[in-house]
């Protein structure tokens, strides 16, 4: 991981010119496809940093047609051949990891070391998924021989979000291609450049039409979700948009994997390690601007540790530094857009108007971009927007408790169920409480710790289906029973 620090010395002197020189275009059937261009904004400054094509409905149709034509040949390849192609794709990502990290930092504004870490995890994800299998199940009984096998679905439409544009695109790509599906990827309009770059890298690895990338706004996504030529939609984003996608996909009964919003609670018991908890919380809930689906978004701390945890978080917040993602001293990520900044500021303002105590770090006067200083809010309670809704920003409510059953009810009271955590030096005690959380993943002494080799389930209104490990591949397959009478 030392490269995550040394990479700062290799940043192009003129990032916009460097990006323009990459010649990033949509990929359809392994060819450049141009469309009218629009600007891409750099969140750390608010300035235009590049341009990307704006897909038309005709581009969506062309990409789906190319994917449908490529599907029979790709599906007919044996599993090992598809595995080999994915491994080659992982190699290409690794060989171009620095360029990809520069692009992610440019389009998200996140510190370069964080962008590099995302690329590193993405390479590992592809390699891990490439090693997965979907074993057949054999049923041998008197007079009967049957096998449950898995077959590809067809064309998969992948709609990726802006908060982690590489890993959340790569996860969809790897799952689909190993299963034997072909794919049309549409990244978020705010972060299209990394997806276009990966599409270029894929051209020499996959047959024409297997891997297609288009860039566009919600109209392109809508054209995909209702397209009769697409058999599967994999989407990561808000619950509100997930409902719209489910409705659009219903007439053609597309198979869906939806990873949606979260309002994760962390419950800190009286024997927890306050230093470890504070460091983890600051890193994923505040320093990354809270822009992580499974960030800690509600922090419940036993009253005996409350003051210590609060003070440790405030001390960490004081060290936050905003600025260019290409400067090594920058630690804070900006919000992705002006609209998102205004929305998150609204949560803090509402809390203050309700009489809560709002602690906020002060950035240097004149700090450009969509930065919001880390904010810790005391005096919150259920019924407030900051507690009940997903803020997706660096504004964290911290609340004391004394009764474990009561705080568990509070943690389970929201409509979301992505993740949750319990913190204690007594792991068995924490596991017993974590098992009662109503969420897809319940962590102990960690939070948001995902691995490509472990499943990612969803609960409540945080999603449909399952992702990661072989379950992500399974979501891109259909079951078929071969049943013979002997």
pLDDT tens-digit series, residues 270-326: 999 999 999 999 999 999 999 999 999 999 999 999 999 999 999 999 999 999 999
Task: Flag whether pLDDT at 263 surpasses 90.
Answer: yes
Work out the pLDDT band at 367, boundaries 50, 70, 90.
Answer: confident
pLDDT at 123: 98
pLDDT at 3: 82
pLDDT at 147: 97
SS3 395: strand
pLDDT at 365: 78
Work out the pLDDT band at 237, boundaries 50, 70, 90.
Answer: very high
Q: What is the mean pLDDT of the chain?
A: 97
Task: Flag whether pLDDT at 400 surpasses 90.
Answer: yes
What are the structural domain ranges in the chain?
3-260+462-484, 265-451
Task: Flag whether pLDDT at 4 surpasses 80.
Answer: no
| Spatial distance between the Cα atoms of 445 and 426, rounded to a whole number of angstroms | 10
User: CATH number of the domain at 3-260+462-484, out of 3.10.450.40, 3.40.605.10, 3.10.105.10, 3.10.20.90?
Assistant: 3.40.605.10
Q: Which residues contact 221 (CB under 8 A, 6 or more apart)?
A: 159, 186, 245
**Mean pLDDT, rounded, for 70-81:** 98
Q: Angle formed by the axes of helices 193-202 and 79-95, to 10°?
A: 130
* Residue 374 DSSP one-character state: -
Q: Where are the beta strands (DSSP E) in 123-276?
A: 137-141, 144-152, 155-159, 182-186, 211-213, 232-236, 255-259, 265-268
| Spatial distance between the Cα atoms of 395 and 114, rounded to a whole number of angstroms | 20
* CATH placement of domain 265-451: 3.40.309.10
As given in the structure block, the two tokens for residue 344 are 């998150």
pLDDT at 127: 98
Tens of pLDDT along 7-61? 999 999 999 999 999 999 999 999 999 899 999 999 999 999 999 999 999 999 9
Please report which residue ranges of 131-273 form alpha helices under DSSP H. 167-179, 193-202, 218-225, 239-249
Tens of pLDDT along 162-173? 999 999 999 999
Same fold, 3-260+462-484 and 265-451: no
| Percent of the chain residues topping a pLDDT of 90 | 96
Tens of pLDDT along 314-339? 999 999 999 999 999 999 999 999 99
Please give the positions annotated as active site: 259, 293
Q: Is the pTM of this model over 0.85?
A: yes
**Mean pLDDT, rounded, for 255-278:** 98
Task: Flag whether pLDDT at 1 surpasses 90.
Answer: no
| Percent of the chain residues topping a pLDDT of 70 | 100
| Spatial distance between the Cα atoms of 336 and 38, rounded to a whole number of angstroms | 17
**Mean pLDDT, rounded, for 241-259:** 97
* Residue 38 DSSP one-character state: E
pLDDT at 464: 97
Tens of pLDDT along 116-162? 999 999 999 999 999 999 989 999 988 999 999 999 999 999 999 99
């Amino acid at each position: 991981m030392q490269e995550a620090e040394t990479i700062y010395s290799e940043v192009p002197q003129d990032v916009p010119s460097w990006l323009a020189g990459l010649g990033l275009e949509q990929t359809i059937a392994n060819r450049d496809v141009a469309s009218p261009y629009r600007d891409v904004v750099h969140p750390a400054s608010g300035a235009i940093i590049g341009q990307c094509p704006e897909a038309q409905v005709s581009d969506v149709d062309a990409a789906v047609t190319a994917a449908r034509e490529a599907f029979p040949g790709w599906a007919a390849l044996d599993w090992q051949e598809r595995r080999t192609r994915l491994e080659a794709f992982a190699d290409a990502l690794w060989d171009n990891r620095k360029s990809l990290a520069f692009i992610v930092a440019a389009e998200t504004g996140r510190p370069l070391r964080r962008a590099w870490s995302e690329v590193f995890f993405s390479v590992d994800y592809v390699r891990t998924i490439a090693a997965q299998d979907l074993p057949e199940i054999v049923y041998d009984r008197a007079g009967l021989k049957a096998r449950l096998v898995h077959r590809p679905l067809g064309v998969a439409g992948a709609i990726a979000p802006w908060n982690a544009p590489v890993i959340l695109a790569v996860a969809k790509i790897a799952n689909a291609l190993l299963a034997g599906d072909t794919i049309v990827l549409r990244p978020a309009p705010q972060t299209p450049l990394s997806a276009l770059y990966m599409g270029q890298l894929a051209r020499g690895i996959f047959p024409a039409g297997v891997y297609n990338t288009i860039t566009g706004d919600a109209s392109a996504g809508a054209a995909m979700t209702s397209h009769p030529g697409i058999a599967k939609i994999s989407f990561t984003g808000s619950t509100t948009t997930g409902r719209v996608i489910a409705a659009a996909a219903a007439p053609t009964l597309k198979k869906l994997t939806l990873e949606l919003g979260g309002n994760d609670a962390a419950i800190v018991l009286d024997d927890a390690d306050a230093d470890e908890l504070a460091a983890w919380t600051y890193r994923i809930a505040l320093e990354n601007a809270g822009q992580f689906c499974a960030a800690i978004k509600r922090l419940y701390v036993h009253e005996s540790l409350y003051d210590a945890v609060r003070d440790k978080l405030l001390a960490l917040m004081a060290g936050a530094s905003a600025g260019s993602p290409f400067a090594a001293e920058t630690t804070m990520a900006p919000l992705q857009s002006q609209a998102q900044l205004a929305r998150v500021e609204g949560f803090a303002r509402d809390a203050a108007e309700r009489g809560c105590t709002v602690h906020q770090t002060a950035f240097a006067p004149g700090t450009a971009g969509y930065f919001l200083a880390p904010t810790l809010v005391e005096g919150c309670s259920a019924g407030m927007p900051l507690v009940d809704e997903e803020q997706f920003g660096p504004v964290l409510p911290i609340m004391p408790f004394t009764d474990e059953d009561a705080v568990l009810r509070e943690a389970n009271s929201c409509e979301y169920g992505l993740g949750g955590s319990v913190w204690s030096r007594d792991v068995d005690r924490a596991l017993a409480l974590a098992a009662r959380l109503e969420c897809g993943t319940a962590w102990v002494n960690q939070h948001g710790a995902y691995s490509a080799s472990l499943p990612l389930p969803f609960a409540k209104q945080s999603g449909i289906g399952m992702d990661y490990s072989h379950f992500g591949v399974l979501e891109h397959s259909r079951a078929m029973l071969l049943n013979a009478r002997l």
